[in-house]
Structure 1
Amino acid sequence: MVDYGIQYWANDDFFIEDGRVKVNYKNSPALIEIVKKAREDGYRGPLLIRFPHLIKKQIEKIFQSFEDSIKENHYKGEFKAVFPIKVNHYPNFILPLMELTQKRCYGLEAGSKSELIIAMAYTNANAPITVNGFKDKEMISLGFIAAKMGHDITLTIEGLNELETIIEVAKTMGKPYPKIGLRIRLHSTGAGAWAKSGGFHSKFGLSATELVEAIDLLKKNHLLEQFMMIHFHIGSQISDISPLKKALRESGNIYAELRKMGAKNLRYVNIGGGLAVEYTQYENHQNRNYTLAEFSGDVVFTLKEIAKNKKEPEPDIFIESGRYVCANHAVLISPVLELFSQEYDEKALRLKEKNPPLIEELYDLYNSIVEKTAIEYLHDSLEHMESLLTLFDLGYIDLQDRSNTEVLVHLIIKKVIKILKYKNHRDIIRIQEQVQERYLLNCSFFQSLPDYWGLGQNFPVIPLDKLNKRPTRSASLWDITCDSDGEIAFNKNTPLFLHDIDVNKEEYFLGFFLVGAYQEVLGMRHNLFTHPTELSVVFDEKGEYSIENLLEAQTILDVLDDLDYDTKEIERRLKQKLEESEEIPDDSKKEVLGQLYVMLSENGYLRTVFKGEGAIL
């Protein structure tokens, strides 16, 4: 059985049994069965499957870890948290999140007016709302309205101009006021792709000089009592715990100094996000060097020590670790449409009565390979291929000879891999790197895995079944966009091996895991491929699951309408051009028009017939 590194990334959320990936919850359904159930109802193309119970699991882990650290360190402050809406703003995530956290002090963080409206509508009573990012007068006024609605809202100031606007709005709108937070610009920086979120040159935050000026402004305008939070963020996906410890010491001392300057209502330290998710499938390629327990323990211990030394009260701790909360709740499932070298079988051979000598030798190598000679014959065949391709370039052999060359060499490679599949021979790895199987997937990496394209972020990928069979093909993955960047190439350092299957005889699905954070909100409509069909898998008390919140991918007309095309005009033009066409018989035009309307009412992903059972991928 091949486990695809499931022990590193799955977080005990999924496991392998009977060759299939299963959900480690309740009655443990197999993912392949969930997919087939959805497809039986007519939903084609890629699927995004959500598991709400995994949202709750992550929330409970975070709260439990911090509560344990608070108890262990006899810490007097409390722990609270908010979810940054920017990480996943889709309703089929946000609404379950709020429902599942009603008994926790867990709210939402907004970074725009639209996000603030979501927070005001859905944040549970007595749960906090924090507002980060740049703000204008209208957005600040919206924060005042939230306060008047009874929300526990904190407006975090990114610059002195925002504080001046708060003072102006406070004079016109009056009490109750929102709480005020100050984002501090730390000297400390993070580690990883988002390290620039910290440091003196970071985009956000107030310098020490600006903090002093902010305190003076608050005192002068009788708003110092509303100043209750400091906030910092040193980057998403913090890989190393050391920069966080340094940032905590710096922010803890700033907290204490601000209180000594008269900010006696300051009692919250918001450490931002950054709690890392483990994406790796491979040993010694870990994305973080700490555990959740170490993370919470360091936060609590450091702030306690500083408060003790400075003789100030221990602050309440806020975090915004959105990635950790939502990454694992969603899985992207994509059907494999084609294996591009499957045309290289014996049926494709068209040998002549008289073939070039090197092709005759290749044919002999193919028929006589045994384990003892496998590597030697493999090397010989690759040398023959280079020679034959050179002969073709020089005009000494024809296109049929070249085709026979390619077919024979691929047949030899497949035969050698099959013979030696249980041996970890370095030559096999090297050859597989050179001659990869290209798997065409019915999805768009730009839409569903944008961080792979933009940042080189790898996501765990695993077949949904056949895991009791050893995969033999070195795999590179192609999406269906017409862009060369739509490829996840084979990497010898982190190799992906998949099964050699015939998609005309059997279906084969790949699952991409940990895609619940940022991928949906950042996904782009390259080639106008849209968000895939999504569904939630919800378990009842008996352990049985049901498919809920099913939302089909947008139709072609919906997509064009979103782009502000006049879809009625498009339909009119298409109908007119069809009626004017002299190539379509008049008695067929009505039927063709009907076919066209059907296509316009479907999503843009491919609908390929699976010949084995007549199913559609």
Structure 2
Amino acid sequence: MNNFGIDLWSNNNFFIEDGLLKINHKNKPSLISLVKEIRKQNYKGPLLFRFPHLIEKQITRLYNTYNAAIKENNYHGKFNAVFPLKVNQFPTFVHPLIEAGEKFNYGLEAGSKAELIIAMTYNKKAPITVNGFKDKEMIHLGFIAKKMGHNITLIIEGLNELETIVEVSKETNLPCPSIGLRVRLFNGGSGAWAKSGGIDSKFGLSSTEILEAYDVLEKNNLFDCLTMIHFHIGSSMNNIKPLKNALKESGHIYAELKNLGATNLNSINIGGGLGVEYSQYKRTINYSLQEFASDVVFTLKNIARQKNVEEPNIFTESGRFISASSAVLIAPVLELFSAEYEAEHLRLKEVNPPLIVELNELYKDMKKRNALEYMHDSIDHLESLLKLFDLGYIDLKDRSNAEILTNLIIKKAISFLEVNAYEELKRIDNKIQEKYLLNFSIFQSLPDLWGINQEFPIMPITHLDKNPTRSASIWDITCDSDGEIEFNPNKPLYLHDVDLDKEEYFIGFFQVGAYQDVLGMKHNLFSHPTEVNVTFDENEVKLEQIIESQKIIDILDDIDYDTNEIKSILNSQLDDDIYEILEKYLNDNSYLKTTWS
């Protein structure tokens, strides 16, 4: 039975039982039970479920694994982590994150003024680091945060930022935040985001600039504020070797600065990089969290011993590792595009072309022993009949009958096949694909899939006790040809053949908790899906903090239309009873409404 690679990507967060996909926590509810519960409250369209317990699980794993490595290696530095807010700034994610991380003193990383305000407001005295390019206002905010009592480190990306820190320090007489230096390493990362590191990366100071920064700090009596060096060589690295090289390089930079006299320098921030498994076909991450943490601790300990300096505190970010698994997108299937190819739509004549007659006989006479042979024959016959149509030898009814009979033959053949015939199905997949139209927008909910061809695990949440036999392409409801997940024979997605007039069918998209929310775009003016936080109290499941998909009128307001003007113009041209109906539509979301939507 196809388990959709759940053993590769789910980290035991989900499991299949009685044909249903279930959450492996507390009373272990099925995802379909959550969908039905929220739809009872009249929330339709796509749904985004957030699972705060999975945020807590990842934070706990991160800290426990690093602390175990520190203990095992008799390492004298401490482990710290900060969550980079750029990965997911939404309050329905951030508030549970802060609550789950409080016992570990888990901090936040900000890369803009708005993110820094979030950190200053909600962070509970855990570390705050500030990355990215900064102007004077942003640096001043850092000084204000320090005045508020926050443990904040401004990590400079260029010497001009350091000069601005000096300027603000003199102008305000506020206490100076800790200062970090982002270093541009020679060694790069691996995977899709490898360009984040390396000598040509966007961020960081060269060796010459590091020494100049040292001089500026010393000259302006801010030397004691230098506490951290920082590097980042890429998100979700699939190979650990580049990390080891980067650790050696950054470790030696740290040690050299210590030996130059940077007495308060006590931390190395290794950025992100922890891999997240998105593939449901084969493992792409070649290391474990334990190996990652052990390599960090062991390498930095060795360098500190060689250079006779104290072992640095270790900071990490790894926001994707913390957040990716915490959200699941579920969208209902609206239509299967072979649904018109049913027997009741046949328009057979009294006298039919010979190939149509033969197709009809293949359909009636098919048995398990000849299923593959007849399926191949039907595909050949269809191709011949389409050529005859182009030449004008058969009419539109004949063409329709050919398409319907071929599809019926294929579906009947598949029903006879055992699971070991999947390779045969893959070989002819282009002929038997099914198009599944889902009530969602790829651009809004899976922007990385569209933008950088990022994989996400995809599977139905029901029918999992049945063999999925349809080679599936997924269409969203945007009027854009890019709004499709095409069938890939090298990474084949098989879904079930269902009768949507009789039953619902929902598709889940997993590992979508990192970046997808904030990067989602209002293409065709579809807004975010309805969002729900799923929490567990003893054995009771609670659906909380429900944020409904935006109303059409609110979306128009977001993109700066004068909504009062819109209402006024429409109202002036319509009778009151018709405008009342229109106003109801304006106050609903853009997703499609059908029986099962």
TM range (shorter): over 0.9
CA distance in 2, matches of 1:317, 1:372: 64
State whether structure 2 residue 151 is matched by structure 1 residue 152: yes
How far apart, in 2, do the equivalents of 1:323 and 1:227 lie? 28
Structure 1 distance, partners of 2:379, 2:461, is 34
Range with greater deviation from structure 2 (370-379 or 345-354): 370-379
Matches within 5 A, 1:402-421: 402-421=399-418
**Match of residue 609 from structure 1:** 595
> Superposition pairs for residues 19-34 of structure 1, below 5 Å?
19-34=19-34
The alignment status of 1:474 with 2:460, answered yes or no, reads no
The residue aligned with 1:598 is: 584
Q: Does 1:555 align with 2:541?
A: no
Please show how residues 106-125 of structure 1 align to structure 2 within 5 Å: 106-125=106-125
How far did residue 549 of structure 1 move? 0.5
1:139 partner amino acid: M
Aligned to 1:539: 536
TM-score (norm 2): 0.99
Aligned pairs, how many? 597
Check the 8 A contact 1:269/1:318 in 2, yes or no: yes
Alignment of 1:250-399 (within 5 A): 250-282=249-281, 285-399=282-396
- Indicate if the aligned counterparts of 2:324 and 2:514 stay in contact, CA closer than 8 A: yes
**Structure 1 consecutive aligned stretches of length 4 or more whose deviation exceeds 4 Å:** none
Give the conservation status (yes or no) of the 8 Å contact 1:107–1:129. Answer: yes
> Could you tell me how far 1:6 is from its partner in structure 2?
0.9
1:9 maps to amino acid: W
Verify the 8 A CA contact 2:146 2:152 in the aligned structure 1: yes
Contact kept, 8 Å, 1:461 with 1:512, in 2: the verdict is yes
Q: Give the aligned residue type for 1:393.
A: D
Counterparts of 1:98 and 1:505 in 2: how far apart (Å)? 44
How much does 1:240 deviate?
Answer: 0.2
SS at match of 1:48: strand
Deviation at 1:151, TM superposition (A): 0.5
Decide whether aligned partners of structure 1 residues 406 and 357 sit closer, same or farther in structure 2, where only a CA change above 3 A counts: same
Does the Cα contact within 8 Å between 2:528 and 2:550 map onto a contact in 1? yes
Partner of 1:139: 138
| TM-score scaled by length of structure 1 | 0.96
Q: 1:425 to 1:97 in 2, by over 3 A?
A: closer
Q: Secondary structure of the residue that 2:590 maps to in structure 1?
A: coil
Return the offset for 1:193. Answer: 1.1
Query: 2:451 — aligned with what?
Result: 454
Deviation string, structure 1 residues 158-202 (Cα, Å, up to 9, x no partner)? 000111111111111124110000000000000011111111110
Residue matched to 1:508: 505
- 1:277/1:287 contact within 8 Å kept: no
Q: Using the alignment, how far apart are the partners of 1:181 and 1:238 within structure 2? A: 24
Partner AA of 2:579 in structure 1: L
1:15 aligns with 2:15: yes
Could you tell me whether the CA contact under 8 Å between 2:53 and 2:535 is conserved in 1?
yes
Residue in structure 1 matched with residue 42 of structure 2 by the alignment: 42
The change in CA–CA distance for 1:386 and 1:294 in structure 2 (over 3 A counts) is same
Please say if 1:567 is aligned against 2:563: yes
Report the CA distance between 1:433 and its aligned residue. 3.5
Q: Is the 8 A contact 1:433 1:491 kept in 2?
A: no
Give the secondary structure class of the aligned counterpart of 1:151: coil
Deviation string, structure 1 residues 224-265 (Cα, Å, up to 9, x no partner): 110000000001111100000000000000000011111111
The one-letter code sitting in structure 2 at the alignment partner of 1:286 is R
CA contact (8 A) 2:89 2:518 kept: yes
Distance 1:425 1:192, change over 3 A: closer
The DSSP-based 3-state class of the residue aligned with 2:205 is: coil
Which amino acid counterpart does residue 234 of structure 1 have in structure 2?
I
- The C-alpha deviation readout for 1:439-474, integer Å capped at 9, x for no partner, is 000000111011111111111111111111111111
Q: Secondary structure of 2:421's match?
A: coil
> Matched residues in 1 for 2:551 and 2:331: separation?
18
Amino acid at match of 1:569: E
Q: CA deviation at 1:425?
A: 5.5
Q: Contact 2:379–2:431 at 8 Å: present in 1 too?
A: no
Post-superposition CA distance 1:190-219 (Å, at most 9, x none): 001111111111000000000011101111
**Equivalent-residue separation in structure 2 for 1:433 and 1:297 (angstroms):** 47
Partner of residue 485 from structure 2, selected from 483, 488, 499: 488
Is contact 1:557-1:567 (8 Å) kept? yes
In 2: Cα distance, 1:196 partner to 1:425 partner: 38
Quick check: 1:88 aligned with 2:74? no
Counterpart of 2:103 in 1: which secondary structure?
coil
**After the TM superposition, which of the residue ranges 369-378 and 407-416 deviates more from structure 2?**
369-378
Partner of 2:304, secondary structure, is helix
Distance 1:146 1:215 in 2: 24
| Amino acid across the alignment from 2:396 | L
Give the aligned residue type for 1:237: S
SS state at 1:467 partner: coil
User: What's the CA shift string for 1:513-546, capped at 9, x where partnerless?
Assistant: 1100001011111101111100111111x22111
What's the RMSD between the two structures over aligned residues? Answer: 1.0
Distance 1:428 1:537 in 2: 38
Say which SS state the counterpart of residue 572 (structure 2) adopts: helix
Alignment-derived partner of residue 164 in structure 1: 163
Give the deviation of 1:431 after TM superposition.
Answer: 2.1
For the 8 Å contact 2:169–2:175, the answer to whether it is kept is: no
Work out the CA distance in 1 between the residues paired with 2:420 and 2:252. 58
How far does residue 18 in structure 1 lie from its aligned partner after superposition?
1.0
Q: CA deviation at 1:428?
A: 2.3
Looking at structure 2, the residues matched to 372 and 463 of structure 1 have their Cα atoms a distance apart, in angstroms, of 30
Local SS of the residue matching 2:589: coil
**Where do 1:93-108 residues align within 5 Å?**
93-108=93-108
The SS at the match of 1:553 is coil
Shift of 1:409: 0.8
Q: Which residue of 1 aligns with 2:194?
A: 195
Q: Offset at 1:590?
A: 2.9
Gaps of 5+ in 2: none
1:428 pairs with 2:425? yes
| Displacement after TM superposition at 1:415 (Å) | 1.0
Q: CA deviation at 1:101?
A: 1.5
In the alignment, is the contact (CA less than 8 A) between 1:45 and 1:335 conserved in 2? yes
Distance 1:426 1:288, change over 3 A: closer
For residue 421 of structure 1, report the CA deviation from its aligned partner. 3.7
